[in-house]
């Protein structure tokens, strides 16, 4: 009896030791990939080491504050981000309501197709919209000019940017609001009507306030994403020099030597901007989540639209056309001409993908980085998810918080931090693909942790405990019991990261060198040099690598696993 | 203030009627309970009355006003029907306080704010929630939320109050005390209530009249006691309480008639029997478990042997094997009975109820 007791205490203790070793390791990874890079952003903007003493230095802040062009960048960022948020929220809420709460024909199909815009790389979306609506070369303007109406649209404006960003972010709003509408108890509205309110008044007094927190969160999400966007604002803002903070950072980074202090301050702007938005959300929504996810499936009340339902259907497909079909078509078409809309058909741009050394080289880099980073990040995510869901170790909440932190830090600012850090550490990380892998890991670990732990919390701990009682060690339990049970979430985490990394531009823009150029950088540079026909074919390949691969893996994962 | 439902039919998909040709009158100032097994169309009927579903056919009248009629093409929306409704989930609006929740129906009906405020306070007092008005409605306990829902539906004095399983989300003891409160409240304000439940005990304790549903129609409706004592069909007898159903025949007529088992010919009881439910000269004799007496010496009687004994505290339930089949018997007196004991069963003629069919 006694012996058994001591033995069991000892083995529990050694398990604890193993857990804390793992925990320490995970913490170290987070310190290196997240905490130090973020510190460096602030450090370089605010501090200086003089004679071995740390001194606060406001010189760069003064420099940025005193210069009009940075104020313009700040205003542009605010205007475009607000505009994009308004567009995305209006579109997303309207679509969600039409698809979930009315008898719009083919709603399920539209809802499935409406996630596609999320997976179209921002660069590609923006490029397609240049082909559609830029002055002189945009299809809309070409046609309208031919018909004698002049040039009605110009995508190279604040409004154009807000519109393009908005339509590509609308699906986030759609998904969040649709799920809120679905999990809202329909009798809340019925009670409103029975109490004597008309359908319209019920919608305003009951439905809207109840889903308002969801709408608000999705608005904040859109806003934060827009602030950090790099590809779209640069592509659409370049021609009229409407520069946002991200574009400014990029420009400063191109200077030789770069003004590190100014870049750091601009990055701090970005962090403060999105941090403020997140705080606002936290503060306003405290305790106001009305839609409780009870897991109870409600049958939503469907409003019978009559003939207006065809109008609704038309509106939904118009959205899909603007965000998916037209951009796709126009990119394909552009890739088939010798130069933009020359009318001379050619295979040259497609063949270029095969023959170009640049393409082969950058593609190799991209795939290598993506596979390495997606695998490392997912593995890291598994362990962090396990530690936070399954152990009671002190500090696991801090770990969770630190993992989540960079999710709201704009990519380009995070990349700046990573660059600053590894510039100072002369162990040969800077300038290799590893710096990119580490940056991806730090910035996107929360995606892996989120996906995997949401599935892990559904696996009852008793399933693991019974394996332990049967004599499995914790590592064996993890690999034999837990991981197989959450396998679908591991697959979807990997695929999600793959699709982000393969076309990532904001961070590699900062972190790449000539040897470690990725495919997205090649595409970007090709655009910068004005070779639009080649950009079109490169964009097609980006879509193929990102969207298509993701759909294939998803479809096969659905067949393999027991679902997400 | 009665509710009249005439020939209501409802199909969600063509060809599959959830309720078909349902007719009934729910009397004013009473609690009418719609009772039946799951999926028999109680909620659908209630929602048709509320206007939350539109019937395929028929007519609904509330307090003499036609609110739905397929023939006259009338279909008032819920907000025009002047009803109150308590939902199974309570449907408390989570973004409003208790006071705002209860206030809203008055605002919707255009009652001026100061008058409305006084009415809300009165109603909250009535349901025992005074002082909780400024609470956020979702921070209340289940029982309190229930009261908010009731207050909200009472506040503008609707003609009819509809309740869909209002007590089913409460725990057992609260459910029983809320039953009593609801009953008292209804008496005090003299309201017309239509109450849906699938709990027969709840139905019998709260109802003035029970409407027993069977596959989308009303099988029988009556005062609870009548329904229990004098079910018209086998379905009703079996749904309410427990019943011994004995296929039987009547021998002789008048005061000395004999009820005999149709299968074995044993005499079960003697006296005057009401066979008006019987369509043929054979039918079912229903004996409730508590109607059987165990004393020896009465005649006629059945000899039997105790098969199982279940002790339930205040009473004992027996399964007694007799020549006419196993009988369920309930005895209240504290007596010692063991499996295998020989007993005699007898029942007086007035406690045998005759049902048609076999
Ligand atoms: N909106 C709807 N669309 C299709 N079928 C429905 C709908 N509402 C109810 N039904 C079906 O109608 C039938 C009767 O439902 P109803 O809710 O009236 O039953 P109920 O008697 O209230 O049962 P319960 O005691 O389980 O609440 C069920 O088979 C149900 O599936
Ligand atoms: Mg029901």
pLDDT digit string, tens, across residues B236-265? 999 998 999 999 888 887 788 888 888 888
**Dmax (CA) of chain B:** 76
Q: Which atom of ligand 1 is nearest to the CA of B13?
A: 4
pLDDT tens string A170-191: 999 999 999 889 888 889 999 9
List the single range of A147-156, A302-311, A334-343, B119-128 with lowest mean pLDDT.
A334-343
DSSP string, B22-65: EEEEE-TTSEEEEE-STTSSHHHHHHHHHTSS--SEEEEEETTE
Range B225-245 average pLDDT: 92
List the single range of A89-103, A294-308, A525-539 with lowest mean pLDDT.
A294-308
List the single range of A142-146, A221-225, B330-334 with lowest mean pLDDT.
B330-334
pTM (predicted TM-score): 0.84
Cβ-nearest to B152 among A195, A199, A288: A195
CA B19 – ligand 1 centroid, Å: 10
Q: What is the pLDDT of residue A290?
A: 66
CA B193 – ligand 2 centroid, Å: 16
Range B47-54 average pLDDT: 93
Q: What is the pLDDT of residue B313?
A: 83
Q: What is the pLDDT of residue B18?
A: 92
List the single range of A73-87, A475-489, B201-215 with lowest mean pLDDT.
A475-489
Is B156 touching ligand 1 by the criterion CB < 6 Å?
A: no
Q: What is the pLDDT of residue B25?
A: 95
Tokens of A417: 């931090």
Tokens of A291: 């839609």
Q: Chains A, B: CB contacts under 8 A, how many?
A: 68
3-state secondary structure of B242: coil
Query: ipTM for the complex?
Result: 0.82
pLDDT exceeds cutoff 60 at A563: no
Measuring from atom 1 of ligand 1, which residue has the nearest CA? B12
Range B99-116 average pLDDT: 93
Give A291's pLDDT tier (boundaries 50, 70, 90): low
A185 touches chain B (CB under 8 A): yes
3-state secondary structure of B324: coil
Query: When comparing pLDDT for B159 and B334, which is higher?
Result: B159
Q: Residues of B with CB below 8 A from A201's CB?
A: 108
Q: Which atom of ligand 1 is nearest to the CA of B36?
A: 21
Q: What is the pLDDT of residue A288?
A: 66
> Cβ-count burial of A137 within 10 angstroms (0-12 exposed, 13-18 middle, 19+ buried)?
middle
CA B38 – ligand 1 centroid, Å: 8
Q: What is the pLDDT of residue A394?
A: 85
CA B66 – ligand 1 centroid, Å: 25
Tokens of A414: 């995070």
Range A240-267 average pLDDT: 91
Cβ proximity of A520 and A121 under 8 Å: yes
Cα separation values, A140 from A151, A159, A327, A358, B188, Å: 8, 16, 12, 33, 72
User: How many angstroms separate the CA atoms of A60 and A412, rounded?
Assistant: 19
Q: What is the pLDDT of residue A6?
A: 44
Q: Mean pLDDT for chain B?
A: 90
**Ligand index nearest the alpha carbon of residue B163:** 2
List the single range of A70-74, A258-262, A419-423, B38-42 with lowest mean pLDDT.
A258-262
User: How many angstroms separate the CA atoms of A500 and A476, rounded?
Assistant: 32
Distance of CA A505 to the CA centre of its chain: 12
The residue in chain B having the minimum alpha-carbon distance to the alpha carbon of residue A201 is B108
Range A242-261 average pLDDT: 90
A290 touches chain B (CB under 8 A): yes
Q: Residues of B with CB below 8 A from A192's CB?
A: 93, 104
Give A44's pLDDT tier (boundaries 50, 70, 90): confident
Q: Residues of B with CB below 8 A from A194's CB?
A: 50, 52, 78-79, 81, 83-85, 153
Cβ-nearest to B85 among A194, A198, A210: A194
pLDDT exceeds cutoff 60 at A292: no
pLDDT exceeds cutoff 90 at A169: yes
Q: Do A195 and B87 touch (CB under 8 A)?
A: no
Question: Taking the alpha carbons of B62, B68, B69, B72 in that order, is the dihedral positive or negative?
Answer: positive
Q: Mean pLDDT for chain A?
A: 87
pLDDT exceeds cutoff 70 at A151: yes
pLDDT tens string B35-47: 999 999 999 999 9
State the Rg of chain B over Cα: 25
Is B12 touching ligand 1 by the criterion CB < 6 Å?
A: yes
Q: What is the pLDDT of residue A5?
A: 44
Q: Residues of B with CB below 8 A from A185's CB?
A: 89, 91
Q: Which atom of ligand 1 is nearest to the CA of B213?
A: 21
Q: What is the pLDDT of residue A105?
A: 92
Q: What is the pLDDT of residue A1?
A: 41
Q: Residues of A with CB below 8 A from B156's CB?
A: 195-196
Range A90-104 average pLDDT: 94
Cβ-nearest to B79 among A196, A206, A210: A196
Range B15-29 average pLDDT: 92
The residue in chain B having the minimum alpha-carbon distance to the alpha carbon of residue A213 is B95
Given ligand 1 and candidates B14, B22, B34, B44, which is best to mutate, with the most ligand atoms within 8 Å of its CB?
A: B44
Q: What angle do helix axes A532-543 and A348-355 make, rounded to 10 degrees? A: 70
Give A525's pLDDT tier (boundaries 50, 70, 90): very high
Q: What is the pLDDT of residue A558?
A: 63
Q: What is the pLDDT of residue A554?
A: 67
List the single range of A25-34, A90-99, A132-141 with lowest mean pLDDT.
A132-141
Q: What is the pLDDT of residue A24?
A: 92
Give A7's pLDDT tier (boundaries 50, 70, 90): very low
pLDDT exceeds cutoff 80 at B271: yes
Q: What is the pLDDT of residue A346?
A: 83
- Chain A nearest-CA distance from B298, in A, is 58
Q: What is the pLDDT of residue A560?
A: 54
Q: What angle do helix axes A36-46 and A411-424 make, rounded to 10 degrees? A: 90
pLDDT exceeds cutoff 70 at B204: yes
pLDDT tens string A200-235: 899 999 999 999 999 999 999 999 999 999 999 999
The residue in chain B having the minimum alpha-carbon distance to the alpha carbon of residue A188 is B91
The residue in chain A having the minimum alpha-carbon distance to the alpha carbon of residue B88 is A187
Measuring from atom 6 of ligand 1, which residue has the nearest CA? B12
pLDDT exceeds cutoff 80 at B335: no
Q: What is the pLDDT of residue A559?
A: 59
User: How many angstroms separate the CA atoms of B335 and A343, rounded?
Assistant: 105
pLDDT tens string A362-395: 999 999 999 999 999 999 999 999 998 888 888 8
Given ligand 1 and candidates A299, A300, A301, which is best to mutate, with the most ligand atoms within 8 Å of its CB?
A: A299
Give A296's pLDDT tier (boundaries 50, 70, 90): low
HSE at residue A510, side-chain half, CA atoms within 13 A, is 32
Q: Do A194 and B83 touch (CB under 8 A)?
A: yes
Range A107-125 average pLDDT: 90
Cβ-nearest to A196 among B88, B94, B105: B105
List the single range of A289-293, A341-345, B333-337 with lowest mean pLDDT.
A289-293
Cβ proximity of B156 and B186 under 8 Å: no
List the single range of A77-86, A152-161, A217-226, B124-133 with lowest mean pLDDT.
B124-133
Q: What is the pLDDT of residue A10?
A: 45
CA B163 – ligand 1 centroid, Å: 16
Q: What is the pLDDT of residue A287?
A: 66
Range B96-112 average pLDDT: 93
Tokens of B149: 């829902």
Q: What is the pLDDT of residue A564?
A: 35
């Amino acid at each position: 009896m006694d012996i058994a007791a001591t033995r069991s205490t000892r083995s529990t203790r050694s398990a604890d030791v193993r857990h804390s070793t793992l925990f320490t390791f995970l913490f170290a990874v987070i310190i290196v990939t997240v905490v130090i890079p973020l510190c460096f952003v602030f450090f370089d903007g605010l501090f200086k080491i003089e004679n071995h003493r740390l001194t606060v230095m406001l010189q760069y802040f003064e420099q940025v504050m005193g210069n009009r062009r940075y104020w313009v960048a700040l205003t542009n960022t605010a205007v475009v981000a607000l505009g994009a948020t308004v567009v995305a929220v209006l579109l997303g809420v309207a679509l969600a309501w039409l698809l979930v709460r009315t008898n719009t024909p083919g709603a399920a199909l539209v809802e499935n197709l409406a996630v596609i815009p999320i997976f179209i790389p921002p660069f590609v979306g923006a490029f397609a919209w240049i082909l559609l609506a830029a002055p002189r070369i945009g299809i809309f303007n070409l046609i309208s000019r031919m018909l004698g109406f002049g040039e009605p649209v110009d995508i190279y404006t604040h409004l154009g940017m807000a519109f393009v960003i908005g339509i590509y972010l609308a699906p986030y709003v759609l998904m969040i609001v649709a799920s809120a509408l679905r999990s809202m108890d329909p009798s809340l509205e019925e009670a409103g009507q029975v109490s004597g309110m008309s359908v319209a008044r019920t919608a305003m007094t009951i439905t809207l306030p109840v889903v308002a927190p969801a709408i608000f969160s999705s608005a904040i999400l859109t806003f934060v994403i827009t602030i950090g966007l790099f590809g779209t604002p640069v592509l659409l803002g370049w021609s009229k020099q409407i520069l946002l903070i991200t574009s400014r950072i990029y420009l400063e980074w191109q200077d030789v030597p770069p003004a590190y202090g100014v870049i750091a301050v601009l990055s701090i702007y970005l962090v403060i901007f999105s941090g403020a938005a997140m705080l606002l959300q936290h503060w306003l929504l405290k305790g106001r989540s009305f839609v409780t996810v009870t897991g109870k499936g409600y049958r939503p009340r469907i409003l019978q639209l009559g003939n207006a339902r065809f109008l609704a259907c038309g509106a939904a497909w118009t959205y899909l056309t603007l965000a998916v079909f037209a951009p796709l078509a126009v990119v394909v078409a552009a890739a088939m001409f010798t130069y933009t809309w020359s009318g001379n058909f050619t295979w040259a741009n497609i063949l270029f993908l095969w023959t170009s050394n640049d393409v082969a080289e950058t593609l190799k880099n991209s795939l290598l980085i993506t596979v390495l980073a997606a695998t490392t990040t997912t593995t890291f995510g598994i362990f962090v998810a396990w530690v936070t869901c399954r152990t009671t170790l002190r500090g696991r909440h801090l770990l969770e918080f630190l993992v989540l932190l960079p999710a709201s830090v704009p990519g380009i600012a995070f990349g700046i931090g990573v660059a600053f850090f590894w510039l100072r550490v002369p162990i040969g990380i800077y300038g290799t693909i590893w710096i990119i892998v580490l940056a991806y890991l730090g910035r996107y670990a929360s995606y892996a942790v989120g996906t995997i732990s949401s599935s892990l919390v559904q696996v009852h701990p008793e399933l693991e405990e019974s394996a332990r009682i049967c004599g499995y060690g914790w590592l064996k339990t993890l690999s034999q019991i837990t991981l197989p049970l959450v396998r679908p979430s591991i697959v979807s985490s990997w695929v999600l990261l793959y699709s982000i990394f393969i076309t990532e531009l904001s961070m590699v823009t900062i972190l790449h060198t000539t040897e470690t150029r990725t495919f997205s950088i090649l595409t970007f540079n090709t655009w910068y040099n004005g070779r639009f026909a080649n950009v079109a074919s490169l964009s097609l390949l980006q879509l193929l690598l990102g969207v298509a691969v993701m759909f294939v893996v998803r479809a096969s994962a659905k067949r393999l696993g027991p679902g997400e | 203030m009665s509710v009249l439902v005439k020939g209501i039919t409802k199909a969600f998909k063509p060809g599959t009627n959830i309720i078909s040709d349902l007719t009934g009158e729910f009397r004013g100032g009473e609690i009418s309970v719609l009772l039946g097994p799951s999926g028999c169309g109680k909620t659908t009927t209630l929602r048709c009355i509320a206007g939350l579903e539109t019937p395929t056919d028929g007519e609904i009248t509330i307090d003499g006003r036609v609110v739905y009629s397929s023939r006259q093409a009338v279909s008032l929306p819920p907000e025009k029907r002047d009803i109150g409704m308590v939902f199974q989930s309570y449907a408390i609006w989570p973004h409003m306080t208790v006071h705002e929740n209860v206030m809203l129906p008055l605002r919707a009906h255009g009652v001026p704010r100061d008058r409305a405020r006084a009415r809300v306070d009165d109603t909250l007092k009535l349901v025992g929630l005074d002082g909780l008005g400024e609470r956020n409605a979702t921070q209340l306990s289940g029982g309190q939320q229930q009261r908010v829902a009731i207050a909200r539906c009472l506040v503008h004095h609707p003609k009819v109050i509809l309740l869909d399983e209002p007590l089913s989300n409460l725990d057992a003891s609260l459910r029983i005390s809320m039953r009593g409160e609801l009953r008292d409240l209804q008496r005090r304000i003299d309201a017309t209530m239509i109450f849906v439940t699938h709990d027969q005990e709840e139905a019998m304790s709260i109802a003035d009249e029970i409407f027993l549903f069977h596959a989308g129609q009303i099988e029988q409706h009556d005062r609870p006691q009548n329904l229990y004592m004098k079910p018209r069909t086998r379905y009703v007898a079996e749904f309410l309480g427990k019943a011994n159903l004995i296929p039987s025949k009547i021998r002789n007529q008048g005061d000395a008639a004999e009820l005999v088992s149709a299968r074995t010919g044993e005499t079960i009881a003697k006296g005057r029997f009401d066979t008006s439910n019987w369509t043929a000269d054979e039918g079912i004799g229903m004996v409730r478990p508590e109607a059987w007496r165990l004393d020896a010496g009465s005649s006629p009687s059945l000899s039997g042997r105790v098969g199982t004994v279940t002790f339930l505290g205040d009473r004992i339930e027996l399964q007694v094997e007799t020549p006419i089949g196993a009988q369920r018997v309930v005895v209240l007196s504290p007596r010692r009975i063991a499996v295998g004991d020989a007993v005699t069963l007898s029942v007086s003629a007035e406690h045998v109820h005759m049902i048609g069919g076999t």
